[in-house]
Amino acid sequence: MNSSVNLIIEPLKPAHDRARFYCGVDVLDRYLKQQAKQDIKRSISRVYVAVQSEIPEQVVGYYSLSSLSIEVSHLPFHISKKLPKHHIPAALIGRLAVCQTAQGNGVGKMLLADAVKRTLAVSSEIAIYTIVVDAINDNARRFYEQFGFATLCDESLRMFLTLKSFF
């Protein structure tokens, strides 16, 4: 895939070819192929896909977005000491994947930016303190770290970035 190809990020639709998606991580491939549609129908998460404008049915990458609350004690002390002692509202990027043919072309960065943009937009209507991501492995953890995400205190691959970081 050429990085200059125009990508469109849109909600997952029935016309999108989920069956051909392959990112190399079985659980992420399986989610898009078998679970994403059900999660959308049940309002468990929203799934957004990146497609090429020239081939709009071919999924180049995707992410899932949902709400979450985290215990304030899971945040680092320098942050949690300033917050109320109850659960904190968050947006969860539960999954983010790019097909193998498009990896290394900035698609993951575009998907992450889109998820952040959507979260910031809704945060003016409902309270969201932080964005949480579930890094699937150490490579994903390093990907998120380059954008400022830090590990939650209690878990090695669950990471966060406060929305204040964008203001």
Point out the residues that are catalytic: 144
Cα end-to-end span (Å), the chain: 34
- Is the distance from CB of 151 to CB of 121 less than 8 angstroms? no
d(CA 116, CA 113): 5
The count of other CB atoms within 10 Å of the CB of residue 124 is 8
Give the residue from 31, 160, 53 showing the smallest Cα distance to 97.
31
Cβ(119)–Cβ(91) below 8 Å: yes
Name the region of 24 (left: φ>0; alpha: ψ -120 to 50; beta: rest). left
